């Protein structure tokens, strides 16, 4: 008799090849539309499934995990970040949590550089002029931006993505600096041409561009708060492709409106899709709808990692991308 296939619930639409492969391997319940599941639907899924495959828009907190059924044994997150999942509570309930690290490094680093260029070279303003049909020819003083070669880039968080940003920035001629919980090994620093700052305050005060590339944890919430943002040079810009909660968005908005910071490029926001409306009105701000990881290649690789984690678990082994509280 063939063994019963693992029951898997996916909370959002995934790329078609990923869904097709899941259907081949598991008893999978897929979404017919791409809207987020309600809390009630998530609770029902967690009571009925062996494996839940959530995404970053799903808040899997202690309350939901407490309602999970006895069958649920794995939360196979589709994404690298797991701050939307209460990993400690899951562990206490005997539920494993896995993620998909590493596959989005280059995509997110590319988007970081795109935002740096977009803000410093005023690309959205030029695009708006063209789309409005208001361009009447070249002018030597029109839409003057700034050259990024020679500028000091301060990277906050020097993990995989931070290091990928450093390599790209160096190719553009930027001077690379960083602040991290732990200093990189000397040979890594040398390869990246990166200078470590033990003091985040001192680094922030001396940089031309700040790039946020650290995860959201209790210790990084509002790490760029009003006091620290005020340390930035008036001509500096800040970009964030990591987690919106790292920046005090209201403080940032006030300073941008007052001209105390030259510009910002944001792909993530403190309250998810609820963006401070004043940010939309500022010409020196580039806003993107969380596109940092939005490449077909990256999303397919994420799906492959999810499938490998589930299949390895189904075979009675530890998922290769198991998340434990000590990692957070």
Q: Is the same domain home to 163 and 15?
A: no
pLDDT tens for each residue of 13-53: 999 999 999 999 999 999 998 999 999 999 999 999 999 99
Phi/psi of residue 52, nearest 5 degrees:
-110, 135
Range of the domain at 195: 105-287
Distance, in Å, from the CA atom of 272 to the CA atom of 231, rounded to the nearest integer, reads 26
Q: Same structural domain for residues 282 and 175?
A: yes
Categorize the per-residue pLDDT at 3 as very low, low, confident or very high, splitting at 50, 70 and 90: low
According to the model, what pLDDT value does residue 325 have? Answer: 65
Residues 23 and 96 in one domain: yes
Q: Which long-range contacts (CB under 8 A, 24 or more apart) does 284-290 make?
A: 284/119, 284/256, 285/119, 285/256, 286/115, 286/118, 286/119, 286/123, 286/124, 288/111, 288/115
206 with 274, same domain: the answer is yes
132 with 216, same domain: the answer is yes
Query: Do residue 52 and residue 22 come from a single domain?
Result: yes
Output DSSP code: residue 38: P
| Total domains, the chain | 2
Cα separations in angstroms, 170 against 41, 130, 177, 182, 193:
47, 31, 10, 21, 8
Strand order in the sheet with 322-323: 27-29, 7-10, 51-53, 74-76, 96-98, 322-323
Tokens representing 196 are 């470590």
Mean pLDDT of 307-314: 98
Is residue 261 located within the same domain as residue 278?
yes
Q: Is 279 exposed, middle or buried (0-12, 13-18, 19+ CB in 10 A)?
A: middle
Residues 117 and 249 in one domain: yes
Does 1 reside within a domain?
no
Q: What is the pLDDT of residues 166-189, one digit of tens each?
A: 999 999 999 999 999 999 999 999
Distances, alpha carbon 308 to alpha carbons 78, 82, 301, in Å: 12, 18, 11
Which pTM was predicted?
0.90
Domain-located, residue 86: yes
What are 13's two structure tokens? 């639409």
CATH number, residue 139: 3.40.50.720
C-alpha count within 13 angstroms, C-beta hemisphere, residue 238: 30
Instruction: Indicate whether 135 and 58 sit together in one domain.
Output: no
16 is written with which tokens?
């078609």
User: pLDDT digit string (tens) for 45-99?
Assistant: 999 999 999 999 999 999 999 999 999 999 999 998 898 999 999 999 999 999 9
Asked whether residue 2 is assigned to any structural domain, the reply reads: no
Strand 209-212 relative to strand 194-196: parallel, antiparallel, unpaired? unpaired
Nearest Cα residue to 82 out of 317, 306, 301: 306
């Amino acid at each position: 008799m063939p063994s019963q296939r693992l029951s898997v619930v996916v909370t959002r639409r995934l790329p078609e090849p990923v869904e097709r492969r899941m259907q081949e391997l598991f008893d999978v319940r897929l979404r017919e539309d791409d809207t987020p599941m309600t809390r009630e639907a998530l609770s029902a899924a967690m009571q009925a499934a062996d494996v839940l495959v959530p995404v970053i828009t799903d808040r899997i907190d202690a309350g939901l995990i407490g309602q999970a059924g006895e069958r649920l044994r794995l939360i196979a997150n589709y994404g690298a970040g797991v701050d939307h999942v209460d990993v400690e509570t899951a562990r206490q309930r005997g539920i494993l949590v896995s993620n998909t690290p590493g596959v989005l490094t280059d995509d997110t680093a590319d988007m970081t550089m795109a935002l740096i260029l977009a803000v410093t070279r005023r690309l959205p303003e030029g695009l708006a002029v063209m789309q409005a049909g208001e361009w009447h020819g070249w002018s030597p003083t029109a839409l003057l931006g700034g050259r990024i070669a020679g500028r000091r880039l301060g990277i906050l968080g020097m993990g995989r993505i931070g290091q990928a940003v450093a390599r790209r920035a160096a190719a553009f001629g930027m001077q690379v600096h960083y602040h991290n919980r732990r200093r990189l090994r000397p040979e890594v620093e040398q390869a990246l041409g990166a200078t470590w700052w033990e003091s985040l305050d001192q680094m922030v005060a001396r940089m031309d561009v700040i790039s946020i590339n650290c995860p959201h944890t209790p210790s990084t919430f509002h790490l760029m708060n009003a006091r620290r943002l005020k340390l930035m040079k008036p001509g500096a810009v800040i970009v964030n492709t990591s987690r919106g909660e790292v920046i005090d968005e209201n403080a940032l908005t006030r300073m941008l409106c007052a001209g105390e910071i030259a510009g910002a490029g944001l792909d993530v926001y403190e309250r998810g899709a609820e963006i401070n409306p004043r940010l939309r009105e500022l010409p020196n701000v580039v806003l993107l709808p969380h596109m940092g990881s939005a490449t077909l290649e990256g999303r397919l690789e994420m799906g492959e990692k999810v499938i490998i984690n589930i299949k390895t678990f189904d075979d009675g082994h530890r998922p290769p991308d198991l998340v434990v509280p000590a990692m957070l």
